[in-house]
Amino acid sequence: MARTKVALVGIGKIALDQHVPAIAASPDWELAATVSRKGTVAGVSAYTDFASFLAERPDVPVVSLCLPPVPRFDYAEAALKAGRHAMLEKPPGATLAEVHTLQALARDRGLTLYATWHSRMAHAVAPAKAWLADRAIRKVHITWREDVRKWHPGQDWVFEPGGMGVFDPGINALSILTEILPDPVHLTRARLEFPANRQTPIAAQLTFSGNVTADFDWRQEGPQTWDIDVDTDAGRLALRMGGNVLEIDGQPMAGENTIMGEYPALYARMAQLVRAGESEVDLSPMVHVADALTLGERVTTVAFDF
């Protein structure tokens, strides 16, 4: 069966590290074009202007947008108005309202819009959700600490308005939380640490209903920590390695110690949605971030530079 052509828009670190290998390995997709001011992929037609791509390549029905959140809306809107299905890197936009606008546009034009959450595709998330489904949750704690210099080297946009700061990785944890818990929770308190020279937080401590807490920090050097611990009436569940390894009462039960299965699963899901003529846009992780930025206590910490 012929593979569907897809264009990647925004050829930066995440596109090269994850999207390009996932598409190359997929039985569903052919990388037919890229759009980027600077980045390219060897052997693939490259455009620097999105309007030119849309005008010249009607044969490419799907665009995958890997741009930072702030400029992404204009590209997604243009793609949908040009009759293309759109796949959005997380977070799906800079604001909730703009994603609602894209939802309505896709619906009205009969197009697929997929707001992706790659951490939900981690190997152990589905078995964790199944295990928790009929258990009483007593306590949840998230520890999500990583090194911004490693994952976003020199990318100042993450500290500009709309860049989300530490919530760029933290929203991955929230995407897992909202997927695995049997019942929804809501934010009740937040403490946000802003570097003196930056516009978005570098660390956050969150408290939710249901005895759920989270600790996000972008200053951790050495080994990185992506853990979710859940105490229940039937034992303790832990997700390690960003949701890729499941432990029950300290014993490994499911998953694989790698993050490389997440993006292939996203592209497989996008293929399903396009074939079915459906969209998938769950904004619950982004709602928690918006609530934290609304409700959070702001604390100024030392300046940060790459």
User: Could you give the residue numbers annotated as active site?
Assistant: 90
Beta bridge partners of 252: 247
Asked if residue 195 lies in contact with residue 202, where contact means CB atoms within 8 angstroms, the answer is yes
Distance (Å, rounded) from C-alpha 82 to C-alpha 58?
Answer: 9
Phi-psi domain of 54 (left: phi exceeds 0; alpha: psi -120 through 50; beta: other): alpha
Q: In this structure, are strands 4-9 and 62-65 parallel, antiparallel, or unpaired?
A: parallel
Q: In this structure, are strands 212-217 and 225-232 parallel, antiparallel, or unpaired?
A: unpaired
Burial 62-81 (b: 16+ CB within 10 A, else e): bbbbbbbbbebbebbebbbe
Distance (Å, rounded) from C-alpha 1 to C-alpha 271?
Answer: 13
Lookup: tokens for 164: 């989300």
Contact partners, residue 62, CB within 8 Å, separation at least 6: 4, 5, 6, 7, 29, 84, 85, 86, 87, 112, 270, 274
